Amino acid sequence: MESSLNSEQNEGTPTSSVSSPYRRTYSDISGLSHRFDVQNFYNRPSNTNAVVLSGHEEDVSEDAVEPKDDVVNDGDGDEEDSDIDSAEDAELEMMRERFAKLLLGEDMSGSGKGVCTAVTVSNSITNLYATVFGQSLRLQPLSTEKKELWKREMNCFMSICDYIVEVIPRSLGTNVEITETKLRSDILMSLPALRKLDNMLMEILDSFTENEFWYVERGSSSMNSSGGGRDSGTFRKVVVQRKDEKWWLPVPCVPAEGLSEEERKNLRHKRDCASQIHKAALAINDSTLNDMDIPDSYLTTLPKSGKASVGDVIYKQLCTAEKFYPDQLLDILKITSEHEALELADKVEASLVTWRRKTGGLTHSKSSWDMMKDIGGDADRGNDKNHILAARARSLLFCLKQRYPELSQTSLDICKIQFNRDVGKAVLESYSRVLEGLAYNVVSWIDDVLYVDRTVRNRED
């Protein structure tokens, strides 16, 4: 019994790791991946002397928790009581380490070198996503264990937002007025929407139980043989090298005659739903990032002119054409990789900030409504060259992100997240970012299946 408890204690100790929360790829360690039911902890029945946390409730029977009168009176603990105390101590130790990681900013040495709470929460949500979805590379439901882990710990992170409130006056209909608190407006609007998007994504994944397609691992014997999967000779007909093929993903396979019309229709419907979820999560993420302050460390790195950021070719297109068409400019630039697209986004965003600083219309943070008002106001300031350049740079950046939805976050976004001190914005940004990444993956996986199905049907014709 003691050895089993020791092993549980060793396995429950969280590993401290700091990973970059700013990319669309993630680490595989969760800093807060242990089960702890706070409500159950404080709502134990009064007749139990030993506190048994939820992580070990299934291992301890109700009889073991119930104290015996003769044991309590005598003061002689038997082996069963000592086991309960050991389990209690193990759970409390894990709880201390988890809260210490948040309070110490992931610096478990306590030397004061940790990051702020907002960055710690952002890192923890990112690592939790990697733990739950990092090995999910195909269209299939999550395991019950991972699904419970995701819901349990995300509820823990989102509960932080319950205490981020703003004070507003409330009239009593008399000369006396009082104040009341309510959730901050951005949290009140965005957090329920993110919960809904999360549930919709889980429903889409759960629906992939009985499929007409299946997967084989790349390089496996079934892939190299003449027959693969469910139907003999099926796989050899769908082996097509794609330019954007990702070698680490399993290969989807379909029957020799292709998918049925009903299956194809269901896949397209799920793809459309996932695509809308991706757009909604992206909009919330962009809105949250726009509300974050622009750090002074980023402003000091900017060149004095926007032309120096974007280069002569792009600058000439921005300032000489009577009517600016960002899509045509992107076609002229002939971007061949995601790396080139991200590099261009960094340059355009830097020039945008520079030109807005010159107009005097740049504050450290911009709400989404302020951004929309600025777009309309630029039309009234058409004679100001800096306003024109800023408006065109903004439209170019928007089209670039639309054309490359898988684009990693820009240098400005990374800098904002790194220096953010607002815990509520950290929760909204990281939550929307991981949902955005998951939705994009679902769309890509469905596209892969439809591509294989289309290839099979074209060869049959």
Rounded to an integer, what distance in angstroms lies between the CA atom of residue 432 and that of residue 180?
29
Phi, psi for 183 (deg, rounded to 5):
-60, 145
* Whole-number pLDDT of residue 188: 95
Give the residue, 197 or 18, on which the prediction is more confident: 197
Q: Which residues pair with 251 in a beta bridge?
A: 216
Give the residue, 8 or 263, on which the prediction is more confident: 263
Indicate if the pLDDT at residue 455 is higher than 70: yes
Question: Residue 253's closest CA among 448, 40, 30?
Answer: 448
Rounded to an integer, what distance in angstroms lies between the CA atom of residue 184 and that of residue 167?
9
Rounded to an integer, what distance in angstroms lies between the CA atom of residue 355 and that of residue 271?
39
Cβ-contact 180, 167 below 8 angstroms: yes
Give the residue, 416 or 160, on which the prediction is more confident: 416
Q: Which residues pair with 179 in a beta bridge?
A: 169
* Whole-number pLDDT of residue 101: 73
Cβ-contact 223, 216 below 8 angstroms: yes
Indicate if the pLDDT at residue 39 is higher than 60: no
The yes or no reply on domain 293-419 and CATH 1.20.58.1310 is: yes
Rounded to an integer, what distance in angstroms lies between the CA atom of residue 345 and that of residue 310?
9
Q: Can you say how many angstroms the Cα of residue 452 is from the centroid of all Cα atoms in its chain?
A: 29
Indicate if the pLDDT at residue 14 is higher than 50: no
The domain spans of the chain are 2-115, 293-419
* Whole-number pLDDT of residue 64: 43
- Percent of the chain scored above 90 by pLDDT? 38
Give the residue, 267 or 37, on which the prediction is more confident: 267
Instruction: With cut-offs at 50, 70 and 90, classify the pLDDT of residue 28.
Output: very low
Indicate if the pLDDT at residue 11 is higher than 80: no
The upper half-sphere exposure of residue 22, i.e. CA atoms within 13 Å in the direction of its Cβ, equals: 15
Q: Note the pLDDT tens digit of each residue in 312-358.
A: 888 888 887 678 888 988 998 888 888 999 999 999 999 999 998 88
Global pTM value: 0.72
For residue 452, the surrounding DSSP H or E stretch is helix 423-460
Question: Residue 88's closest CA among 44, 63, 54, 37?
Answer: 54
Give the residue, 177 or 95, on which the prediction is more confident: 177
Three-class secondary structure of residue 373 per DSSP: helix
Q: Note the pLDDT tens digit of each residue in 45-94.
A: 444 333 333 334 444 444 444 444 444 445 555 666 677 777 677 656 76
Rounded average pLDDT over 377-386: 58
Question: Residue 104 carries which DSSP code?
Answer: T
